Structure 1
Amino acid sequence: MGGIFAFVCKDPMDLSIINKSLRKLIYRGYDSAGIAYLKDGDLVIKKIVGNISKNEINVSDKARVAIGHTRYASRGWPTLENAHPLTDCNGKIAVVMDGILDDYEKIRDDLITKGHKFVSTTDTEIIPHLLENSEDYLNSSLIVLKRVRGIYSLAFITIGADKIFAINSGQPLMIGITPECKYVSSDLPSLSGIAENAIIVPENTIAVISWNEVKVYNIEGNEVKPEIKRVKYKEEIAEKGGFPHFMLKEIYDIPQALINSFNSLMEKYLSLASMIVYGAKNVYIIGNGTSLHAGFISSYYFSEISLNVNVVSAAEFPYYALKNVTTGSVIIAISQSGETSDVIRSIKMAKQRGAVILGITNSVGSRLALESNVYLPITAGPEMAVPATKTFTSTIVVLKVLSLYTGLHSGKNDRSEISSLKSEIEELAKQLMVRLPEMEKEAEKLAPKLDKESLYISSSGINYPIALEGALKFKEASMTHAEGIQLGELLHGPIVLTNKGYPVILIKPVEAEDLYNKVIRSIKERGDVIVTVAEDGDMKSIKATRDLTPISNVIPLHLLAYKLGVRKGLPIDTPPGLVKAVIV
């Protein structure tokens, strides 16, 4: 996964434009970066490991054709070998890609048997090898589009052709248009100040781009007429993908991140991880903050297959849970950054006592991934805002899939349930893409009602951890004291603090509807402000299966917390005193 930027011009262009434009795409990836360009009939490639906003690619050349990439490591560690652009055996073709390929292992094995040499561990590298030795790159691109399954977009250049070839198979791809140059990018905002108009490359199409023309072909090879849009973004908004804050952008990323997280999980690692969990003497799930709340939700998933897991704060784990860890224990450690000190400290102690560590992280190459015996990637994409949104919902997906695979070993689940889950996630994502703008408007209208010093968020069952997570988001994004409370417990003491005008957000539970209605009546009698999160609530959540309702219900809370923070004029992406990974 990552960000793509490329150009083809009538006259040589200074390559510094790629460094500058890739910095605008840093939210799509920050693990490594690279540039490929044509010079004197050769293909020149330069790469770096690390964040391009802090460490530019050193290029002083000019070129008529060049492609660049900033990478988020989803498959393959953040190394120079795995950095894009990636080439074929002959070093003639350079490819950059954004997205995930579903069936790359099978294709890679087939290419290896045919004599192809691979130098990376990324899925992208199969593309230049599939294109290798082609004499008709439009036709070979069509073959790639038909053969390679996944959600991706890519661009490539090749020696002997002053053109850029691009494929859109479900990930955004734009072509900026000027009289002297054409530019290819992963989003419209990065083209701001470069091109006034841009072509939106349609899904399942090939684009052949020269400096003076762009031709787009559908999967049958027929030329199509794409949509053209105006490009106009302020610089500070351009760096956030067109959104005023990273937090809002990342909420809008959730539908695609859910699909990516499911598709990125590889069968062999899921089988190994689930076998380890199934054969464990005891299982502990540890994390902090948002990761801990995802762990609480997973305990409901594992209980469905009669597996009792102990969910413990990583900060608390060494003080009372560690003494029960022995050989045969399994620790499922969750950290989106993979660098949280409490998590790292706990797993090191557990390993000393003979435990097996299963890491779940959004950062391949992190300390958690290094310390784990096996790890599963969250693959939500880079998350720049401190308040976690898309990584939380994607972590839920990973944990649900892990529980299903664990159930295969005991006979509690069968493979049809895995296929059903994929369909359920795709349907939820599809509805979210449509509904998110409406949900944002609902949150903006309701935010004034919640603009108080304190509030409660309450639910029951599998959605009780969502009340805890929602309370955390209100603290982080809107600096409002919020407390997550189990629905029944709300009546056993906490309700005495409420008075007329005190806000209470109620998330409708899957079960316990009678209790939900009872609590509503009790709160209304006191004259408190109630905001309901439900399919028919004040904040309308999307209908989902029981195990996906935590995802459906947390997004309205994300939006409410965000809009309240905006109303207060707060630095939402960087709350004072907080960082993305707590390492103290």
Structure 2
Amino acid sequence: MCGIVAYVGDRTAFPILIKGLQRLEYRGYDSAGIALHNGTSHVYKCKGKVKDLENLVKDKDISGTVGMGHTRWATHGEPSDRNAHPHQSMKGKFSVVHNGIIENYTHLKKELSNRGYSFESDTDTEVLANLIENIYLEQNISAELAVRLALSRVVGAYGLVIYCEDEPGQLIAARKGSPLVIGVGNQEYFLASDATPIIEYTDQVMYLNDEEVAIITREKLELKSLSNDNLTPDVKKITLSIDHIDKNGYEHFMLKEIHEQPATITDTFRGRVAMDGSKIFLGGVLDVMPKLINAKRIIIVACGTSWHAGLVGEYLFEKYARIPVEVEYGSEFRYRHPIIFEDDLVIAISQSGETADTLAAIRKVKEAGATVLGICNVAGSTISRETDAGVYTHAGIEIGVASTKAFTSQITVLLMMAMLLGSKRKTLPQAEYSTLIHELISVPEKIEEILKEEEKIKKIASVYKDVSNALYMGRGLLYPVALEGALKLKEISYIHAEGYPAAEMKHGPIALIDENMPVFALAANDTSYEKMISNIQEVKARKGKVVAIVTRGDKSIRKMADHVIEIPECHEAVSPLLAVIPLQILSYHIAVMRGCNVDQPRNLAKSVTVE
């Protein structure tokens, strides 16, 4: 959620920090700040965007080869200059940037107040800065030890970078539940919440694990546990390039990522499906294949868009592998005393691999002894490390806060897993198995066909850009796509929208329909087609406006709908991958026409690392 960037080395830190904060803007934020250290500390911070911070520091001292920056997504205290990071301790000994939540900050704040500490902000982070300082001064110990002792008293999640005035040239980083990556250069180190601010300087990185502390100077990096065990840094090479984080001529990252989906879906199945349709190979689950084949139940845990992908997975696993499936919100799963058996298979889905609620669900499941698979997009992420096995989506970095290509890549992985399990369990006949593989291989070309219709879809968007509400409806595999379409619209255009199973409309939501209510109907030519015709008639009988997503050549629904968007003919199993594309395009253009910040919608963050 919040974005952290820091540097220690021989270069001037300021340009690295500002560029890093710009690269982290996609995570969502409401204020920004930097601290630069050149013998004394200079902290500059303000409510607003990075460009506001750049204006603030004009004519200020921005020298120094050590520094840290931060973009804040508010948890404690409203967006304001005083609540922006970095925060300094009362006596000025420590500067801190923090991602996460200190849950027991109220208790710690009261304790520090009784010791004479005062506070200038409403944040939990300032409490932590003062706690570290208090321990440091009272016990007359090193900054690193003071940090470890302070963190041993903290309840909650954190990604931290800390600077001590008495130990110049050194940064201390720590992590629990909130990601931090360290880029390793030539006598210089780069720290960030993710790799995007780092990749133009080095391709050598290490990811901090929970309850690890890094002590960093330009000469060396020392890694310890909170309990003072010395650890060996695990440095890896990353393949992310600058091209992945540039718009490449598109007006917004979201539009670029919509258009990347033919390539990202191909990248997801490339090397995993035989082009002759004979087999699927998922190396990431090979070691646990016997457990997968013999699973009595699958539980899918996810949040947001990933949860919608999980709902698609439910249909696919039950149909092709004949295994019962439950799809759970990660945020609810851990709190409702779920019944978990050792022979359950749990699949955790997360774009970032750092979603706090999904991680908490994973840890609860592992306590019960079930097998956990991860589906995520970020190599080296926490979910990829904490699960027993898994599959990367290979969607590439997704900058737009509203997920597009990550969603279709997740569905691609789920479809491959369902087909593979169906083949192994002998519940999916070989002929149909081969047909489905060929259908999946054909998807990227069919999406290209849909993308060529963008101008037509844009014209439809112009008709509905000023509505206040919208309904989405679908059946079977396209019901989760209706949910996803509604989520996209409200995420980026701020129009209230809801998705429903089409047959449920008459159990309440149909009361909302009048001549001002657009209804987006997912009506591809599948097993529910005739039922969808009836549901659309119900909407039209109440003067609702219908925008229908139909299979190319459809004649029946065309006669009823106000607007029709065609998708190529396809197998029902891959229909979600095609049907969601027009909905993404519609939402994008409606949001642009309304003047919304498409890539950074208000109040939202890309990587949700707090509960």
Query: Separation in 1 of the partners of 2:19 and 2:334?
Result: 45
2:317 maps to which of 280, 302, 325: 302
Contact 2:316 2:415 in 1 (8 A): yes
Q: Quote the residue 1:142 is aligned against.
A: none
Query: Separation in 2 of the partners of 1:480 and 1:455?
Result: 7
Identity of aligned pairs, percent?
30
Change (3 A) 1:578 1:57: closer
Structure 2 counterparts to residues 174-185 of structure 1, below 5 A: none
Structure 2 counterparts to residues 301-320 of structure 1, below 5 A: 301-304=316-319, 305-320=321-336
Q: What is the letter of the counterpart of residue 327 of structure 1? A: E
Q: Quote the residue 2:299 is aligned against.
A: 284
Contact 2:513 2:543 in 1 (8 A): no
Tell me the TM-score normalized by structure 1.
Answer: 0.61
Structure 2 counterparts to residues 262-277 of structure 1, below 5 A: 262-263=269-270, 265=272, 267-277=282-292
Tell me the TM-score normalized by structure 2.
Answer: 0.58
Secondary structure of 1:319's counterpart equals coil
Residue correspondences, number: 397
Q: C-alpha displacement at 1:47, in angstroms?
A: 9.8
Query: Separation in 1 of the partners of 2:307 and 2:322?
Result: 21
Q: Quote the residue 1:448 is aligned against.
A: 463
Change (3 A) 1:382 1:296: same
Q: Quote the residue 1:573 is aligned against.
A: 599
Which structure has more relative contact order (CA 8 Å, sep 6+)? It is 2
Contact 2:470 2:498 in 1 (8 A): yes
Q: C-alpha displacement at 1:123, in angstroms?
A: 11
Contact 2:300 2:348 in 1 (8 A): yes
Q: Quote the residue 2:443 is aligned against.
A: 428
Change (3 A) 1:388 1:52: closer
Q: Quote the residue 1:529 is aligned against.
A: 545
Q: Quote the residue 2:568 is aligned against.
A: 542
What do the CA deviations read for 1:399-427 (whole angstroms, capped 9, x no partner)?
11111111232112366655544432332
2:579 maps to which of 553, 564, 579: 553
Q: C-alpha displacement at 1:242, in angstroms?
A: 0.9
Secondary structure of 1:323's counterpart equals coil
Gaps of 5+ in 2: 1-15, 26-179, 209-233, 273-280, 553-557, 559-563
Q: Quote the residue 2:197 is aligned against.
A: 54
Gaps of 5+ in 1: 1-17, 36-43, 59-68, 80-118, 125-153, 155-184, 191-237
Contact 1:359 1:374 in 2 (8 A): yes
Q: C-alpha displacement at 1:239, in angstroms?
A: 3.4
What do the CA deviations read for 1:504-523 (whole angstroms, capped 9, x no partner)?
11010522222212222222
Change (3 A) 1:263 1:419: farther
Query: Separation in 1 of the partners of 2:259 and 2:433?
Result: 25
Query: Separation in 2 of the partners of 1:414 and 1:48?
Result: 52
Query: Separation in 2 of the partners of 1:548 and 1:394?
Result: 12
Q: Quote the residue 1:135 is aligned against.
A: none
Structure 2 counterparts to residues 138-537 of structure 1, below 5 A: 239-263=246-270, 265=272, 267-304=282-319, 305-320=321-336, 322-413=337-428, 420-509=435-524, 510-536=526-552
What do the CA deviations read for 1:505-559 (whole angstroms, capped 9, x no partner)?
1010522222212222222222221111112462222322110001110111101
Contact 1:24 1:240 in 2 (8 A): no
Contact 1:47 1:57 in 2 (8 A): no
Secondary structure of 2:300's counterpart equals strand
Change (3 A) 1:527 1:286: same
Contact 2:183 2:190 in 1 (8 A): yes
Query: Separation in 2 of the partners of 1:516 and 1:581?
Result: 36
Q: What is the letter of the counterpart of residue 579 of structure 2? A: N
Change (3 A) 1:417 1:32: farther
Taking only aligned residues, the RMSD between alpha carbons, in angstroms, comes to 3.7
Q: C-alpha displacement at 1:334, in angstroms?
A: 0.6
Contact 1:380 1:394 in 2 (8 A): yes
Contact 2:23 2:197 in 1 (8 A): no
What do the CA deviations read for 1:173-192 (whole angstroms, capped 9, x no partner)?
xxxxxxxxxxxx986xx9xx
Query: Separation in 1 of the partners of 2:236 and 2:294?
Result: 29
Q: C-alpha displacement at 1:429, in angstroms?
A: 0.7
Query: Separation in 2 of the partners of 1:349 and 1:407?
Result: 28
Contact 2:436 2:573 in 1 (8 A): no
Change (3 A) 1:342 1:26: closer
Secondary structure of 1:571's counterpart equals coil
